[in-house]
Amino acid sequence: MAIAKAERLMNLALCLLGTRRPLSKRELRECIEAYMETFGPDRGGPGDDSFNRMFERDKDDLRELGLVIETVENLDGEVGYLARRDSNRLPPITLDAEEAAALGLAAKVWQQARLAGAASGALQKLRAAGLPEDVDPYEAHGALEPRIPVHEAAFEPLMLACRDRRPVVFDYRKATAAQPAARHVEPWALECWRGHWYLAGWDRDRGAERVFRLSRITGRVRTRGSGFTVPVPDVVTVRETVAGWAGEIADRSARIRLRKGAGYPLRAKATAVRELGDGWDELDIPYGHGLDAWLVEFGPDVVVLEPAELRADVVDRLRAVAKG
């Protein structure tokens, strides 16, 4: 749904819920800014027929969303509309500790993006609707407060694109590339894994599902008006995909040389560490698909000893970077 239409429907719903008497089409047209801007007498806009069609569509949309709108005649004999609060009241909202924690954590994410106002307002409404005043969602599981950082400028436009099912274009720098390249993506889902945000979606240029790390997106995310060309899967496994690429799903073992004082994430994964002297250590690392791309990020601090195919993959990637 377009943002302009959503805002218009929200304003119409608020007018119908807030009135104590039925409001006619004329009155609604005069008090809702979106109608006035399009159909106001001083705007030279379309005539009454166009307004009537839009109003009827808006009213039908609100009813489909569950708003109970009554149609009555007012004292002047005009048809009026209102939505009684007692007919549109939701049942009490109750949240257990886990649900409160999830909401608090989501709000924490928005506070670090540009949605802080909306997040605070949503929590206030939830408290008014039944969230106990003495329950802090951020601390529902104890003194340790979970945090999910959101520092990437691409987060908000990608979140909106996922919600609205709008394709996007952005420049993406792979770990093995010296320069970013444009990617045309149908975005499916965003997920945080190990402190980094990832986007899963359909890469149109490659004709396959891909996962992108937001910190490698450069420049502005641009949306495209065309719709999706591939159905969105019922389950999008972002974490599992990233974990496999990062070697978390391990079915093999690699032996590498690592410079002293470097590569802490590699040391954390190692099953064995042996000192070699001259400022180097030897590590055994369990890994799966994608370890070659990760090792390239450590540059001259890493040397692959075995297996031979992993060493060859790393060398190929380094050569590609050098050529770029």
> Tokens standing for 51?
């307004």
Q: Each residue of 158-197: pLDDT tens digit?
A: 988 988 889 999 999 876 667 889 999 999 988 877 667 8
> Tokens standing for 74?
């007012």
CA distance 253 to 251: 7
Q: Report the predicted TM-score, pTM, of the whole model to 2 decimal places.
A: 0.43
- Please give the pLDDT value at position 286: 84
- For the four alpha carbons of 276, 259, 290 and 288, in that order, the dihedral sign comes to positive
pLDDT tier at 100 (50, 70, 90 boundaries)?
Answer: low
Query: Which residues on adjacent β-strands are paired with residue 181?
Result: 172
- Please give the pLDDT value at position 250: 64
Q: Tell which residue, 78, 148, 144, has the closest CA to residue 119.
A: 148
What CATH number does domain 155-234 carry, 2.30.30, 1.25.40, 3.30.300, 1.20.1730? 2.30.30
Using an 8 Å Cβ cutoff, are 34 and 45 in contact? Answer: no
Name 63's Cβ contacts closer than 8 Å, sequence gap at least 6: 69
**Whether residue 136 has pLDDT greater than 90:** no
Q: What are the distances in angstroms from CA 299 to CA 163, 175, 234, 276, 307?
A: 38, 11, 39, 19, 18
Domain boundaries, the chain: 3-87, 97-139, 155-234, 252-323
> Tokens standing for 304?
């692959």
Query: What is the spatial order of strands in the sheet that 196-203 belongs to?
Result: 208-213, 196-203, 181-193, 168-172, 217-223
Collapse the DSSP code of 102 into the 3-class scheme (helix H, G, I; strand E, B; otherwise coil) and give the result.
helix
Q: Tell which residue, 235, 244, 154, 150, has the closest CA to residue 199.
A: 154
Q: What is the mean pLDDT of the chain?
A: 77
CATH-assigned architecture of domain 3-87:
Orthogonal Bundle (1.10)
Using an 8 Å Cβ cutoff, are 287 and 250 in contact? Answer: yes
pLDDT tier at 79 (50, 70, 90 boundaries)?
Answer: confident
- Please give the pLDDT value at position 91: 66
Q: Each residue of 28-44: pLDDT tens digit?
A: 888 888 888 777 655 54
Q: Each residue of 253-273: pLDDT tens digit?
A: 899 999 998 888 888 888 899
- Please give the pLDDT value at position 143: 40
Contacts by residues 131-140 (CB-CB < 8 Å, ≥ 24 positions apart): 131/93, 131/95, 131/100, 135/95, 135/100, 136/104, 137/100, 137/101, 137/103, 137/104, 137/105, 137/107, 138/101, 138/104, 138/105, 138/107, 138/108, 139/104, 140/97, 140/98, 140/100, 140/101, 140/104
